[in-house]
Amino acid sequence: MPAKHIEVKTFKLAHTTDDVVKIEHVEKPYGEYSSPVVSIAVYSHGKTKVSEVEIPYENIQEFLKALNESIALCESIPHNPIHGELNSEIGGGA
């Protein structure tokens, strides 16, 4: 039986025009007796998969803890306002 992908959530990737992140629950990802995983994939233009990570459910709590630690680290480092050099809410371009 092939892997079964069940979509959990899809959302727009920040700072892009049409890239999305898709979160899926995957049953039997590596064959009949494999344990389910969470798939986190980025799709360019909403269609072409450009990256993916599959995380076993046994590692989800540790993964979430690491994400929260990363957020705290980012918030502890001073950053310039996004597009501050343009004095604008959005980026430039031709």
> pLDDT tens-digit profile of 6-42?
999 999 998 888 999 999 999 999 999 999 999 999 9
Is the pLDDT reported for residue 82 higher than 90?
no
Query: What count of Cα atoms within 13 Å lies in the side-chain half-sphere of residue 49?
Result: 8
Q: How many domains, in total, are found in the chain?
A: 1
The model's confidence at residue 94, banded by pLDDT at 50, 70 and 90, is: very low
The DSSP output letter for 87 is T
Residue 50, pLDDT score: 96
Residue 46, pLDDT score: 80
23 occurs within a structural domain: yes
84 occurs within a structural domain: no
Q: What is the pTM for the complete model shown?
A: 0.80
**Phi-psi sector, 87: left (phi>0), alpha (psi -120 to 50), beta:** left
Is the pLDDT reported for residue 83 higher than 80?
no
92 occurs within a structural domain: no
The model's confidence at residue 86, banded by pLDDT at 50, 70 and 90, is: confident
88 occurs within a structural domain: no
Host domain of residue 12: 4-79
48 occurs within a structural domain: yes
